[in-house]
Structure 1
Amino acid sequence: MSAIIAFLLRTIGVGGCAFLALYVYDWGLPGASRIPYLSSIPIIGDLTTGRAHSYAADQVKIATAAQKAQCEARLEKTVSSFQYEALAAQLAEERRRRAIADSLAASSEKRADEAMKAKAKAETDLESRIAADADPEGGRWTEEDGRWNEKR
């Protein structure tokens, strides 16, 4: 390595070596950025990739992080709106079922009232038939009673 540096000093001089050093520091070694994991080594990575490429890579990371944060915020908003829509649909379904249950309860109450009225009417009809069928001496035999009695 020292032989290469001595050759460069003799060939292009101190000014040329300083220019090359600054050029490598600023732009890096050509093709060295393609070597995997070389840029992740602290000092060697800075020399091989160069300041310009490191700055560009840092800016890309910053922009990517900002875009990722915006995307996640939009996704969170989308998820929350989806959850809101799902809950609204569930509420609408529960209200629909509640309305059906209320109408069924009202119709069952109406049928129960009609059944109670029919029962009361049947009981009054039975009581009136029993009262019409009774003598002071007891019950009175009808033709139906006679036919039933013959079948025994």
Structure 2
Amino acid sequence: MSVVFTWLLRTIGIGGVAFLGLYIYDWGIPGASRIPYLSSIPILGDLTTGRAHSYAADQVKLATSNMVTKFERDTIAAQLAEEKRRRLIADQLHTEASKRADAAERAKSKAEADLEARIAADISPDGGRWTEEDQQWNGKR
């Protein structure tokens, strides 16, 4: 490795070696990014893929993560809309049930008032008035 570096230093000079080093740092070694798993090795991966390709890969990951986030956001919005729809239906059903309960309470109060009125209207000496059916049941005892 040092033989290659020395040869390059003699051939193209220190400026050429610096230029070549910066070029490799920025763009990587041509074709090396196609080697599987080479870019996942910490230092060697940075040199082989280059800063430009690493930046591009990071941007792809960022865009993909935003797409997933957008999908999740759309899913949550759909769930929220469904929950609002169900809440509206539940509120309507609750209102109808309350109206029916109020009507049943009024009917019960009216029936009790009618019964009290019939009881108050019944004035016989023994406190009750016997009907014909009551007489038949009384006779069977």
TM-score by length of 1: 0.59
3-state SS of 2:108 partner: helix
Correspondences of 1:92-131 after superposition (within 5 Å): 92-121=92-121, 123-124=122-123, 126-127=124-125
Q: Aligned to 2:12, which of 1, 11, 14?
A: 14
Quick one: structure 1 residues 32 and 57, their matched pair in 2 at CA, closer, same or farther if it must change by over 3 Å?
A: closer
Tell me, in whole angstroms, the C-alpha distance in 2 between the residues paired with 1:78 and 1:114: 54
Matched residue type, 2:107? S
Report how many residues are paired: 125
Correspondences of 1:58-77 after superposition (within 5 Å): 58-77=58-77
Where does structure 1 lack aligned partners over 5 or more consecutive residues? Answer: 131-143
Quick one: structure 1 residues 21 and 108, their matched pair in 2 at CA, closer, same or farther if it must change by over 3 Å?
A: same
Would you say the 8 A contact 1:46–1:54 is kept in 2? yes
Tell me which moved more, 49-58 or 23-32.
23-32
Instruction: Report deviation, 1:43.
Output: 2.5
Quick one: structure 1 residues 53 and 30, their matched pair in 2 at CA, closer, same or farther if it must change by over 3 Å?
A: same
- Identity over aligned residues, as a percent? 32
Tell me, in whole angstroms, the C-alpha distance in 2 between the residues paired with 1:21 and 1:117: 109
Quick one: structure 1 residues 30 and 129, their matched pair in 2 at CA, closer, same or farther if it must change by over 3 Å?
A: closer
Where does structure 2 lack aligned partners over 5 or more consecutive residues? Answer: 129-134
RMSD across aligned positions (CA): 3.7
Instruction: Report deviation, 1:45.
Output: 1.2
Larger radius of gyration: 1
Which residue pairs with 1:138 in the alignment?
Answer: none
Matched residue type, 1:55? Y
Quick one: structure 1 residues 79 and 111, their matched pair in 2 at CA, closer, same or farther if it must change by over 3 Å?
A: same
